[in-house]
Amino acid sequence: MTATLRVTDLNEADLSARLTCDGLWLTSGPLTLHIRSREPVVRQALQTLYADHTLAQSDFADFHVQVGRVAGLRAWVRPQVQFHLDGRTPFKPLPHAQSFAMLEWGINWCIATYCHQFLVIHAAVVERNGLAAILPAPPGSGKSTLTAALIQRGWRLCSDELTLLDPADGRVVALARPVNLKNSSIDIIQQFEASASFGPECPDTHKGRVAHLQPPRDSVARMHERATPRWIIFPRWEAGAALDMKPLPRAEGFIQLAENAFNYSMLGETGFRTLIDTVDRSDCLSMRYSRLDDAIAAFDRLADEARQ
């Protein structure tokens, strides 16, 4: 048996050849992704952001995805790209500079739309000592910034956007995909950790400036390790606010988690039981913060207390 190849083991020409011809087969947690694209920015981004991901050695892909140019007159004036899943194009095209962002958004959509073997929650999730902190939060609450900071300080990244809970054992299944940061969050994390590695930045999406942060090597290496839910934390960044962490009634945690789930009602009783189990074994907390270091210290304290 040959040693497992990682993306970083491929030279630029090899990666490029794969992406344009047979496609790149990647492992992301429980999923095998088959990716094709001729866009140079997609190759550059994959090379940086998925460097530590292993190439899948399988004949089966969960999703065959492609980011390709839209044909026609537009191809010459303002080129656009389209996301393809099995030959279908579920979205409106985007300017070609956003090719990689479109790939990431497209994969998120595939998971949220089809992976009903899991309870899928719109939340970040990080792990320490086998225990998971789930961070469901509306956009703008600083969830991704906090996640990006936590994973620079020893927390393992399971997922930044989609929390997968397996109804069979109630545990978190990791994806270890890049963290999507927007606008000033990009600068904040660059200042917070100089060694943090980013993919190409794309200037003006409808969300503003977007860049992706490479997941830590350790998070990628341990993507198959499951984590047990222990905390459900609703973070809120507020300029100048002192750190304030308060317990939240479980019922409220439950409702908020359910409202952030993609398929809670779809899964019916299974969804209800999975969510009840998750809330039962977790502390529900709301956290207001302004300084990342304070927030991380608070997270670390939680991890230490849980250990004792």
Partner 1 sequence: MIRDALLPLLRAPECAARLTLREWDDVIRQARNANLSARIAADLEGRGLLDAVPPGPRQHLVAARAVGARQRIASLAEIERVRRALDECGIRLVLLKGAAYLAADLPASRGRVFGDIDLLVPKDALPNTESTLLRHGWISSHLNAYDQRYYRQWMHELPPLRHINRGSSLDVHHNILPLTARHPPDPTLLLDQAIPAAATPGVWVLAPADMVLHSACHLFHEGELDNGLRDLVDLDGLLRHFACEADFWRMLEYRAVALKLQRPLRYALRMCSVMLATPIPAETLTFGGAWPSDARERLLEQLYLRGLRPNDPTAGDAWTPLARQLLYLRGHWLRMPPHLLTAHLARKAWRNWSGHTDDDETPAPDAIKPERQL
Contacts to partner 1 by CB under 8 A = 30, 32, 58-62, 64, 83, 86-88, 90-92, 94, 101-102, 105-106, 108-109, 112, 114-117, 121-122, 205-207, 255, 258-268, 270
Q: State in angstroms the smallest separation of the CB of 170 from partner 1.
A: 16
Q: 193, exposed or middle or buried, with CB in 10 Å at 0-12, 13-18, 19+?
A: middle
Task: Report helix angle 268-280 to 250-259, nearest 10.
Answer: 140
Q: State in angstroms the smallest separation of the CB of 154 from partner 1.
A: 29
Backbone angles phi, psi at 250, to 5 degrees: -55, -40
- Element housing 180 (H / E): strand 179-182
Residue among 168 and 297 whose Cβ is closer to partner 1: 168
With CA atoms as reference, report the closest residue to 214 among 266, 258, 264, 179: 179
Residue among 181 and 295 whose Cβ is closer to partner 1: 181
Residue among 116 and 281 whose Cβ is closer to partner 1: 116
Q: State in angstroms the smallest separation of the CB of 286 from partner 1.
A: 19
Q: Do the Cβ atoms of 218 and 156 come closer than 8 Å?
A: yes
Residue among 139 and 247 whose Cβ is closer to partner 1: 139
Residue among 61 and 243 whose Cβ is closer to partner 1: 61
Q: State in angstroms the smallest separation of the CB of 299 from partner 1.
A: 25
Between the two ends of the chain, the Cα-to-Cα distance in Å is 43
Q: Do the Cβ atoms of 58 and 28 come closer than 8 Å?
A: no
Residue among 32 and 214 whose Cβ is closer to partner 1: 32
Q: State in angstroms the smallest separation of the CB of 162 from partner 1.
A: 9
For every residue of 81-130, DSSP letters joined together read: EEEEETTB--S--EEGGGHHHHHHHHHHHHHHHH-TTSEEEEEEEEEETT
Q: State in angstroms the smallest separation of the CB of 133 from partner 1.
A: 20
d(CA 181, CA 140) in angstroms, rounded, equals 11
Q: Do the Cβ atoms of 199 and 212 come closer than 8 Å?
A: yes
Q: State in angstroms the smallest separation of the CB of 252 from partner 1.
A: 12
Residue among 44 and 270 whose Cβ is closer to partner 1: 270
Q: Which amino acid is at 141?
A: S
